[in-house]
């Protein structure tokens, strides 16, 4: 047997150290939203539950005091069954945890923030020859609410984090996405969109939407258009910059438009609800890099014909491949010039269409 509580405390300690040393990466609004999710997780609340603001502010104050005390701490090695492991040795740690239905995640998120996670495995299955693990109760997590990820040739679907993430997307959706969200909910069989009814229907909404998380990870693992080693090099050289944003967005679009990615699967399944969710939650940068899809979706609502979505997906794929190749070229040119600012300016102008 293993000491689950001890392992959870060790992982949570590293989560707190990561948050303490990286909270400054987020905007005030972005940090507030992440703290909100972390508070709900620590207090075992539903995604839609809200507590008195004074209580939450008191908790935030305590959290910030703890972070200040840990700001200089280094990540600690994990001791599991008498052996110690580097905190990023997820494969070694999971080899020990797997028989006990636990899964440990370790890696780097946006802006190269270290991120750690420990959850209880509820389900295992295989999709396209790749292992899918679904976790339920989360025993340790940091500020990042990550609904799904891929690690060690596994896809990890985090039900708790995914539920928080989806509810927030629905609640804070921008005006341009509301029509697509309405379309998605209607095609989930939900005509009453009042908050109380959405709470009652949320498990059904998540069940339909969760496949988008899985499809994206499958597409990302199976698409080699943007060489992984080169993508990681770009990210590591330009963390927390527009270059990182562009590289991540291009890689996501390659995953979603590839033959085994999100949109081709939606098209094959003729899933109107998932198509609506996908368009509803497109970010501003995704719309800028994939303008064909919102236009095609508007046509689809009128015509109900999937060929417009197929054509848009093909066009988006070609654009994403072109952008990936151009990003690599600009990155290499910038290295030769030894001028990171030149690279950032060139990416902003040529990829993101941001004028200086």
pLDDT of residue 249: 97
pLDDT of residue 353: 87
CA distance 270 to 275: 9
pLDDT tens figures, 6-21: 999 999 999 999 999 9
139: helix, strand or coil: strand
**pTM for the full predicted model:** 0.95
145: helix, strand or coil: coil
CA triple 265-132-83, angle to 5 deg: 155
CA distance 51 to 39: 10
Is the CA virtual torsion 299, 305, 310, 313 positive or negative? Answer: positive
pLDDT of residue 1: 80
98: helix, strand or coil: helix
Neighbours of 53 (CB within 10 A): 8
pLDDT of residue 355: 65
pLDDT of residue 153: 83
The 10 Å CB-count burial string (b at 16+, else e) for 246-273 is bbebbbbbbbbbbeebbbbbbeeeebbb
Tokens 């368009």 — which residue?
Answer: 279
pLDDT of residue 152: 77
pLDDT less than 70: residues of the chain: 355-356
Q: Which helix (H) or strand (E) holds 93?
A: helix 90-97
pLDDT of residue 151: 84
């Amino acid at each position: 047997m293993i000491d689950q509580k001890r392992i959870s405390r060790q992982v949570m300690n590293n989560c707190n150290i990561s948050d303490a040393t990286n909270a400054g990466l987020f905007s005030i609004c972005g940090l507030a939203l992440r703290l909100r999710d972390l508070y709900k997780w620590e207090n075992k609340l539903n995604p839609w539950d809200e507590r008195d603001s004074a209580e939450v502010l008191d908790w935030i104050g305590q959290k910030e005091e703890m972070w200040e005390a840990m700001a200089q701490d280094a990540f600690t090695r994990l001791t599991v069954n008498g052996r110690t492991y580097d905190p990023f040795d997820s494969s070694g740690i999971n080899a020990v945890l797997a028989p006990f239905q636990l899964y440990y995640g370790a890696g780097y998120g946006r802006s190269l923030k270290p991120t750690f996670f420990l959850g209880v495995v509820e389900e295992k299955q295989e999709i396209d020859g790749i292992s899918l693990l679904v976790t339920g109760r989360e025993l340790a997590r940091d500020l990042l609410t990550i609904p799904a990820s891929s690690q060690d040739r596994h896809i990890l679907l985090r039900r708790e984090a995914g539920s928080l993430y989806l509810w927030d997307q629905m609640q804070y959706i921008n005006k341009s996405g509301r029509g697509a969200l309405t379309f998605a909910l209607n095609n989930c069989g939900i005509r009453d969109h009042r908050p109380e009814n959405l709470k009652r229907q949320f498990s059904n909404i998540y069940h339909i939407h969760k496949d988008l998380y899985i499809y994206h990870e499958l597409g990302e693992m199976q698409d080699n258009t943007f060489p992984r080693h080169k993508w990681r090099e770009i990210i590591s050289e330009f963390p927390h910059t527009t270059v990182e944003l562009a590289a991540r967005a291009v890689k996501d679009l390659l995953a979603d438009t590839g033959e085994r990615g999100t949109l081709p699967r939606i098209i094959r399944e003729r899933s109107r609800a998932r198509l609506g969710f996908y368009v509803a939650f497109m970010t501003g940068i995704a719309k800028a890099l994939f303008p064909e899809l919102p236009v095609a979706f508007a046509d689809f609502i009128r015509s109900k014909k999937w060929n417009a979505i197929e054509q848009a997906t093909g066009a988006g794929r070609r654009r994403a491949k072109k952008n990936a190749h151009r990003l690599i070229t600009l990155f290499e040119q910038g290295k030769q010039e030894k001028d990171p600012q030149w690279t950032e300016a060139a990416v902003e102008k040529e990829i993101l269409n941001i004028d200086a």
